[in-house]
Structure 1
């Protein structure tokens, strides 16, 4: 295949699963001989949450005070300003991974600055606000080619759209996420006051679709058996407003007498660097990830690569790419079931079985293979891009 210039658009420079996917995908594409450039609005001016072995562009953006609709509209406009000239649109393929980028590219297509674009749908949110819902729908409807990270979402969208959708999957970098400790392990333990544990890790902050409330209820039950257990909640950077749900979770913690802070029963870190993330996985006895809604659940592969057993919801997409003995499957609506899984993960024989199975499962998901699954779609989109656009 001829080398391609690919513009990859994501919604943020923060450490979220979709952003991590874009950076790793671009790095793998560059290793295959293409030029993949990841773009994201960057109101902080600090750039992406990690250094990348691919070109990146921090799109000029300003902080926005207002509603989520105001913020999303501003980020779409940031992209439109950035790609306003033909020179900025000098790419063979445009690939959006979010509704923000998808709406900007849809507008560029209508303005005939580009011929079409690829849209990867990681998952579909349920928005109460009709404007956000319409923007999400448009970013999918207007795409020239659609991809998904799981068959679960590909099948759902294909049913709605009546079109075939490619499945590209996900990957994990085994050079970064591994069982061998690094200097970061000691730094993480000391910085956050991690004790003898057991430590339960939750990734994604206080968010309804991550089922944080269910994890809290389960952890409260675990603490009855293990008084020194700690719940570490990592991440949480999001464009969406989760304040009301976060307040509900904090109220639940207070009701259970669980303090939040360094060295306390519950530790909330906020976003952390990629250098530190493997250390959190390695320190944890188990990853609690019984999500209600996921596109794929990238952190499950990362945890497994670090030798950490995972608790996941007994529902797609987890049941799609994990076998029954790869992880501990639970009913996400049953805190006692989740708590029992937390306890089961501490048993030496169960831990040994899950560590072995998880290592095998993580090794089967390489970013290079994920990147290669994009190439036919890119080639088809590039042919569209190279056709003359007539006024």
Structure 2
């Protein structure tokens, strides 16, 4: 069996990092000798059941370009000392994908999505991090088509998974306490996960909430750790709120236990992304019996069906999103239908199946 190094750019609770840790543990359950390498000074956002090593990185500038290249250099320096101990290096992002081929001949790269970089240096860095890997994977058919059309790279689809055990039911007292903490004792509570940033459609969400008729819901926003600086967008989005009569609680990054409790304490998930690689958050909501309002994105349509297991209003359209939110808030039967539909989706996406596909790929190239 191959000895595999999984590489990720961060220790924070972003989608690619969540994927990396879950995949590592599922691979270990299959008997794969796996070790995780990441950039960071502190441990991961949750306990990890497999060995891991963190490489320190120092960035002297707020420039995205300088942060990316400093991170590539730190990953490269760390891997140079250990790469020879592994049969396969599996990079999960642009940074590790750029570093890994420089120190190892057998590199697998998972492209979760393609960033909208604008400077020539970053565009070239991302391109090389895709085309220089020997074996490229993606998490959706949408991104398989994008890589083929825009990079000439034939990628294999290996989808994400979800672990329902991470989202156990919570007691009535804890649920009531969380709702009370944001003023939602007797009001509809919407949960948004991923922070306030362009990809998550935060401005669309705030505008949609301002269009709602009748009693306004409470919005709780979790997350927000990002490699990129979205401070300007965040300030612009928050500037939309005054005068809308909205109660918005920005809760930031929370522990795994608390994240699961919020999923179980809300009345619906609102996830109006305008771009995603796959969309782990709707799956996590399904695993928590939480009805989902997302966006009509190609990646979501690969596993969600409008009206059956989610509502999928047009991406970037606050009027369409407001209509969907009014429906889900007013119709208890609809919410029950979406929860039941979500329970049918979850078993199709297991980390065990994901890991088995990866193990097969590792064996074929070792």
Same fold by TM-score greater than 0.5: yes
Single out whichever of 19-28 and 177-186 deviates more from structure 2. Answer: 177-186
Are 2:42 and 1:58 aligned? no
The alignment partner of 2:85 has SS state of coil
Q: TM-score, normalised by structure 1?
A: 0.88
Distance (whole Å) between structure 1 residues aligned to residue 242 and residue 124 of structure 2: 38
Distance (whole Å) between structure 1 residues aligned to residue 168 and residue 233 of structure 2: 33
Give matches, 1:1-391, under 5 Å: 2=1, 4-42=2-40, 45-62=41-58, 64-85=60-81, 87-108=82-103, 114-181=104-171, 185=175, 188-189=178-179, 192-222=182-212, 224-227=213-216, 229-258=217-246, 265-324=247-306, 325-346=308-329, 347-382=331-366
- Aligned-pair CA distance for 1:164: 2.7
- Aligned-pair CA distance for 1:5: 1.6
Q: What does the per-residue CA deviation read over 1:162-194, in whole Å, with 9 as the maximum and x for residues that have no partner? A: 443111101111111244548864664455554
The alignment partner of 1:376 has SS state of helix
Single out whichever of 55-64 and 325-334 deviates more from structure 2. Answer: 55-64
Which 5+ residue runs of structure 2 have no aligned equivalent?
none
Q: 1:184 to 1:50 in 2, by over 3 A?
A: farther
- Aligned-pair CA distance for 1:102: 0.7
The answer (yes or no) to whether the contact 2:275–2:297 under 8 Å persists in 1 is: no
Q: What does the per-residue CA deviation read over 1:29-70, in whole Å, with 9 as the maximum and x for residues that have no partner? A: 00000122222111xx32100001222222222354321111
- Aligned-pair CA distance for 1:215: 0.7
- Aligned-pair CA distance for 1:363: 2.2
The alignment partner of 1:239 has SS state of coil
Q: 1:141 to 1:316 in 2, by over 3 A?
A: same
Distance (whole Å) between structure 1 residues aligned to residue 256 and residue 363 of structure 2: 32
Distance (whole Å) between structure 2 residues aligned to residue 197 and residue 128 of structure 1: 43
The alignment partner of 2:101 has SS state of helix
Distance (whole Å) between structure 1 residues aligned to residue 95 and residue 243 of structure 2: 38
The answer (yes or no) to whether the contact 2:183–2:218 under 8 Å persists in 1 is: no
The alignment partner of 1:327 has SS state of coil
- Aligned-pair CA distance for 1:104: 1.0
The answer (yes or no) to whether the contact 1:15–1:272 under 8 Å persists in 2 is: no
Q: 1:241 to 1:92 in 2, by over 3 A?
A: same
The answer (yes or no) to whether the contact 1:179–1:305 under 8 Å persists in 2 is: no
Q: 1:157 to 1:184 in 2, by over 3 A?
A: farther
- Aligned-pair CA distance for 1:256: 2.5
Single out whichever of 309-318 and 162-171 deviates more from structure 2. Answer: 162-171
Root-mean-square deviation (CA, aligned residues, Å) is 1.9
